[in-house]
Structure 1
């Protein structure tokens, strides 16, 4: 079983505007990385994302950037501590996240986010489900922020 998922949503703005809302660290910090984002994603770079609900900066390795088309990144999987009866967690490892931006004929943008690479363990399964929830929330926050200037995450977690 491959622990992977894909979530998608349509945003009523042109692809260039939607891509910039993810690529520009100031814009990303306005609705998603509530603790701030540092660095613009460029192929081969490492940027940092921080979230108020998960304190501490997360290094994000940028694998590939195709402006207005896709961003591929890798970051450390976070399985959390083992639960009752589980073996201790193994060495740290990375998952891969792919953002795809597709312009639609009606002027909207289809954004898809895929993540894969978790270990096939109970902790990996919990982490995959948790990140699926997080990326779904990110898409909702992106849509509302880009279309209406509202930050859905403000005060949501802390």
Structure 2
């Protein structure tokens, strides 16, 4: 397990992260708590080397959101967070 903290969102507190799988240069698969108590989302971050070997395509997918207004808002909020995280790379 890993614990994440978000400097820009200290009110989020400590976020426990379960590392499901890692494959160097290919995949980081995580699980973390959803916006709904006792429910967890899967996060997969994949890395694909592009043909020119000078760039890497990074994709982030997060699944498991409940099909409720709260789940939809959580997905929207997190998509902005992931966009910010990618610009910080």
TM-score norm. by structure 1 comes to 0.52
RMSD of equivalent CA atoms: 1.2
| Unpaired runs of at least 5, structure 2 | none
| Unpaired runs of at least 5, structure 1 | 1-45, 80-90, 143-158
2:41 aligned with 1:95, yes or no? yes
Residue in 1 that maps onto 2:63: 116
- Structure having the larger proportion of residues in strand: 2
Equivalences, count: 86
The alignment partner of 1:105 has SS state of: coil
Residue in 2 that maps onto 1:15: none
**CA distance in 2 between partners of 1:72 and 1:126 (Å):** 23
- After superposing on structure 2, the runs of 4+ consecutive aligned residues of structure 1 that deviate more than 3 Å are none
Higher RCO (Cα < 8 Å, 6 or more apart):
1
2:25 aligned with 1:51, yes or no? no
Match of 1:104 among 28, 34, 50: 50
The alignment partner of 1:51 has SS state of: coil
Residue in 2 that maps onto 1:83: none
